[in-house]
Amino acid sequence: MSEIEGVRQGDVGYLASLKRMFSPLKALATTVSVTSVMTGIVPLTQQALSSGGPVVMVFGFAFICAITSMIAMSLADISSGFPNVKGGLAEYSRRLAPPHLKRISSWTGSFTLAGYDAPIHTLYNTENAATRVPRGILFGFLVAFVLGEIIILTLLFGISDIQLILNPVISGIASLEIFIHLVGKSGVAYLLVIFTVTFFLCGQGILRAVSEIGHELAESGAFPKSKFFSQVGSKGQPIRVGWFCVAVSCCIGILYLGNTTILQALTSAVVMELK
């Protein structure tokens, strides 16, 4: 831990309890895995084609990324100035807002685009966080943009008949229909393995970020049994709050077995919160 980080920890009145073991590559990987552009682009190909077409997909994605880059740069700048503040975006908003807006700002400060804030919640695990975390945010955003455009162009150049893609009869999913026409059903089976692994890694990254957020809240005494959940494992990881997040996710997943409407309502609410 650098001398500057030690001074800033003293300023905020606590010492980090999590082990600092994140390399710059891990901070970058956290952003890329949580952002996971493949999980957003591939399932929505049919809707994008029917709503705007190829031009909107290519340039619309670039336009949105240009706007989102401002958010990413803002987060990178703020995280470099507050590398050891508990609470992440909510605490940043509270500290930077005018006095009469501190409370409402802290309540709405967590509303952000998913993925780009993930390295902020790994500050405690990262050596020289004041420089490595901002780089992880910016480079992760750049990688996500490039990968997103590559995926979009790959899908578009794979379309031989737009009507067959808009009305998929083989798989029922436009993106899978494109790959079936390109590599056949056997090839799609291998691609589905890649997609599944990607979704799994995205979930792992999200679990990591969420467990860090839960640990931050537990250390602040934000919910019952905070002392229990604030304890870390032998390797300096928030094991208890991590397993709690897994249990909650499993309970939400079980709802799908009973009533799909409930799960759709929950996921829709999450989409609104993330966007």
pLDDT at 12: 46
pLDDT at 146: 92
* pLDDT class of 3 with cuts at 50, 70, 90: very low
d(CA 227, CA 241): 11
d(CA 131, CA 152): 32
The model's pLDDT over 108-137, given as tens digits with 9 standing for 90+, comes to 655 555 566 667 766 666 667 778 778 888
pLDDT at 228: 84
pLDDT at 270: 62
HSE value, Cβ hemisphere, 13 Å, CA-based, for 137: 28
Residue 45 has pLDDT above 60, yes or no: yes
Residues whose CB is less than 8 angstroms from the CB of residue 133 and which lie 6 or more positions away in sequence, other chains included: 27, 76, 79, 80, 83, 119, 120, 122, 123, 126
pLDDT at 14: 47
Tally of structural domains, the chain:
1
pLDDT at 128: 74
pTM: 0.72
d(CA 156, CA 192): 19
User: Taking a C-beta distance cutoff of 8 angstroms, is the pair 175, 43 a contact?
Assistant: yes
Mean pLDDT over the full length of the chain: 76
Q: Which domain holds residue 244?
A: 3-274
The model's pLDDT over 174-183, given as tens digits with 9 standing for 90+, comes to 888 888 888 8
User: Taking a C-beta distance cutoff of 8 angstroms, is the pair 14, 215 a contact?
Assistant: no
The model's pLDDT over 68-94, given as tens digits with 9 standing for 90+, comes to 888 888 888 888 887 777 667 777 877
> What is the residue type of 27?
A
41's tokens: 């682009």
Residues whose CB is less than 8 angstroms from the CB of residue 79 and which lie 6 or more positions away in sequence, other chains included: 92, 119, 120, 123, 129, 130, 133, 134, 137
Number of C-beta neighbours around residue 192 at 10 A: 12
